[in-house]
Structure 1
Amino acid sequence: MGMDRAGLGGEAMMLRAASRAPYLERGEELALAIRWKEKRDQQALDRIATAHMRLAISMAVKFRRYGLPMGDLIQEGHVGLLEAAARFDPDRDVRFSTYATWWIRASMQDYVLRNWSIVRGGTSSAQKSLFFNLRRMRARLSQSGEPVGALSAYKQISVALGVSEADVALMDMRLSVPDTSLNAPLNVENDSGERMDLLVSDAPLPDEQVCETIDIERRSSWLRDALSVLNEREMHIIAQRRLSENGATLEELGSLLGISKERVRQIETRALEKLKCALVKENSAFCVF
């Protein structure tokens, strides 16, 4: 409760400060911008930002429909306002309010996208446009006087915003349904479990995982025992050809061992046959080398 009061108090202070800040005439605004650009006069920067806090507050009101704290929206608008003031170029002959509007809106939009849902959305410019324009465009279609079905509306919106119909449908669903915790109880009265309990897992069952672990250990043991039947040169060739990430060529091994690549191939073939016999020893006939 104390934090809520503190937040409300901070918001009230910002509103009072903004209402008391004097408006700037165009000439005064230009002079302050020049002082900041040429002399990095912090007081000039602060005066420009403070005089335009009303702009940030009025834009924060428009974003309030997303259910986020008004004070936080104003703070984000203030961040955008300071960024605009720091980047403003007085030589472009544009009023600061016109330039700052883009930065304030961008800062608030980013805040909304980061905090509106625990699921991150609007990661591209098209998705961001869809998020902030979907409701307005649906309302416009419903007020057109002609009945518009959901599929038809999705199609028109997708064409207008340059996104797929599937993206429009998904965003519409996200805006219509609030976040729900997977740990929320299914039934508060009889404690019937959590939503998490209804999720289907694609992971193997515990007994399957145990069997897989045992099989891997058994195969590894068999391979280690089988490799012990190879002599040093056979083991070297198999290791370089079959067990390394970048297998060596027959020519490379032949050059290294001082033999022909055909001889390397013969030794490799013989080694593989020895490994095969060792691995199937219990179920095969006696092998002679």
Structure 2
Amino acid sequence: MSPSPRRVDQLWLDYQRTRDERVKADLARACMRRVYAIAKKLRAEMGGVPSLQDLVDAGLVGLMEAFERFDPSRGVYFETWCSWRVLGAMRDDQRKRAWASEAVRLKAQRLRRAAAEMASARGRAPTDEELAEALSVSTAEVAELWRHVERRRPVSLDSTHEEGGADGDPALADRRADPAQLLLAKEARELLLDALKELPDKQRYTLLLYYFEKLTMAQVGRVLEVSESRVSQLHSAALRTLARRLGPRQDELLSALGV
């Protein structure tokens, strides 16, 4: 049975007065059920995409911050304040993970482009050592980026939103493919990714999360902290901007998104 809000408040007051680590541990235990409940609810709202443990870990960071920042003069129970801080920490963590995912994806894009250009120039696939030198990174980072490329489900140039995958794209499923095939499969995709980089942040993230990460519009809204209707507006505006920038090739290139 969970302790009452008044009991939790009393534990917080005891901790503030004594700074006793044992009291702090009792306070943390009293709040853990709430942290797990918030994590489970948020995970369900996001379609089960995030790891429950990742959410709980982030929530614990928020919990520790709540211990130090709670102000009883605000007129709310500590448990209520704690819930706000925990949920906020979980959402912040998910946003950071989304941005980090984009950073890795952009690095992988540079790797694929370099591999295609070097393959075209040399008539053979480059080694990881050659790619590392060209990109000024370590061979270990090149290997890790290739693993990222190979485990990601790429956007197929002839598939819908729900279809496609690494097995259907020989240029990415086998990075040692013939250079001509490699370039043919990647040209439209690279042009599209370049155009995406020119979009305003929220429009770009909307398309990346929806088409590349395969989130629903509701899930995208939760990551960006906007309503689902706002996500729909961002989505439409982004596609209109892309269509203008891609010019006569817009139909071919937008098909890469399954539009």
Report if TM-score (shorter chain) is over 0.5: no
- Normalising by structure 2, report the TM-score: 0.39
Larger helix percent: 2
Select the structure with the greater relative contact order (CA < 8 A; seq sep ≥ 6): 2
Larger Rg: 1
